[in-house]
Amino acid sequence: MNPDPDQQPIALITGASGGIGEAFAYELAADGYRLVLVARTVNELARVADDLASQSSTKPECIGMDLSQPGSAAALSALIAERGLMPEVLVNNAGFGLMGKTLALDVDEQVGMINLNITALTELSVLFGRHMAARGKGGIINVTSVAGSLPGPNMSIYYASKAYILRFTEALSAELKGSGVQVTAVAPGVTRTGFHKRAGMERSVLMKYSIPMSSEAVARIGYQGFLRKRRVVTTGVFNKFAMLCSLLVPNAVLLPVTGWLHTKVAGAPELSQQPLTAKRHSDE
Ligand SMILES: NC(=O)c1ccc[n+]([C@@H]2O[C@H](COP(=O)([O-])OP(=O)(O)OC[C@H]3O[C@@H](n4cnc5c(N)ncnc54)[C@H](OP(=O)(O)O)[C@@H]3O)[C@@H](O)[C@H]2O)c1
């Protein structure tokens, strides 16, 4: 690892205040990168930065920003340029999901999900990808999901947003072939993080029957795949099987099964009983 921070390559990670993003921060710090961490919760970012600083020679920069707000990706890019923190590696990890019927969930929250999962990820890929391509080196890791290859009733927009990320990343990777810029989509399955609480799916059928991976394992497998120049990295054997099912099993079967996985287990309030404007964070 290079001890001079000015000589270290920079990695920018969105959604680094916990979960998979925090685990990516450890992977990249261990590989010698100076880090820029972005999320909304500044005190959680500071906790991650302090923990990382105690293990390495440099302290990560922390930027508190809500990337679901229109114009936030451009604002982040301008801030990065102003501070001279242009990343060699970008990890577009920030994202969230919402479980419930599309017409019943709060429409503003669902648009915010599209802004974060799709728009901010796309803008950051383009804005920072241009700098990487001009320098002839760098890399982008976009965190999608096994959900990206399946239809997802009761989580329709989340699943569709992850399908967008998968296809966008594959295509960008093909466009940048030979440019020196590596583009990789990482597709985790169920992973032990704060994701399910925010999505309102802690008591879902999916959570009842799945065995979550650790965020550390997801980041390690994802980063190793990126280093091996893989276009898509699916974490874990079960998740690879789920991806295969998406190709082999007809939609007439997939739709009811995935829809059922996103219902609440017996005893939990029915999704259909939730008010049309229900906010999902009311129980947090
Ligand atoms: N956990 C799973 O089972 C799973 C499976 C497949 C894919 N994924 C994907 O993995 C990625 C990371 O999720 P996770 O599982 O690690 O969940 P998590 O623990 O909830 O972490 C999400 C991260 O995104 C940040 N974030 C959320 N909203 C944001 C916003 N508006 N602006 C900026 N940052 C925001 C959060 O920080 P703040 O709240 O502080 O902003 C946090 O750092 C997501 O893209 C998710 O779709 C997760």
Q: Give the tokens for residue 50.
A: 């302090």
* Residue pLDDT, tens place only, 148-196: 999 999 999 999 999 999 999 999 999 999 999 999 999 999 999 999 9
From CA 171, how far away is CA 231, in angstroms rounded? 10
Find, among 56, 157, 49, 55, the residue nearest to 112 by Cα.
157
Other Cβ atoms less than 10 A from the Cβ of 101: the count is 16
Atom of ligand 1 nearest to the CA of 20: 16
In the chain, what are the domains? 5-236+246-273 (3.40.50.720)
Predicted confidence (pLDDT) at residue 2 exceeds the cutoff of 90 = no
* Residue pLDDT, tens place only, 190-247: 999 999 999 999 999 999 999 999 999 999 999 999 999 999 999 999 899 988 988 9
Which of 41, 108, 195 best tests ligand 1's pocket when mutated (most atoms within 8 Å of CB)? Answer: 195
- Does ligand 1 come within 6 angstroms of the Cβ of 113? no
Looking at residue 39, what DSSP letter applies? E
CB 52 within 8 A of CB 35: yes
User: Is 158 among the catalytic positions?
Assistant: yes
Considering the chain, what is the average pLDDT of its residues? 92
Q: What pLDDT sits at residue 7?
A: 82
Q: Tell me if the pTM is above 0.85.
A: yes
Atom of ligand 1 nearest to the CA of 95: 45
- DSSP three-state, residue 206: helix
Atom of ligand 1 nearest to the CA of 16: 43
Q: What pLDDT sits at residue 129?
A: 98
Q: What pLDDT sits at residue 56?
A: 78
- Does ligand 1 come within 6 angstroms of the Cβ of 236? no
Predicted confidence (pLDDT) at residue 136 exceeds the cutoff of 70 = yes
- Does ligand 1 come within 6 angstroms of the Cβ of 242? no
Given 26, 33, 158, 223, which residue is catalytic? 158
Residue with tokens 């799916």: 201
- Does ligand 1 come within 6 angstroms of the Cβ of 158? no
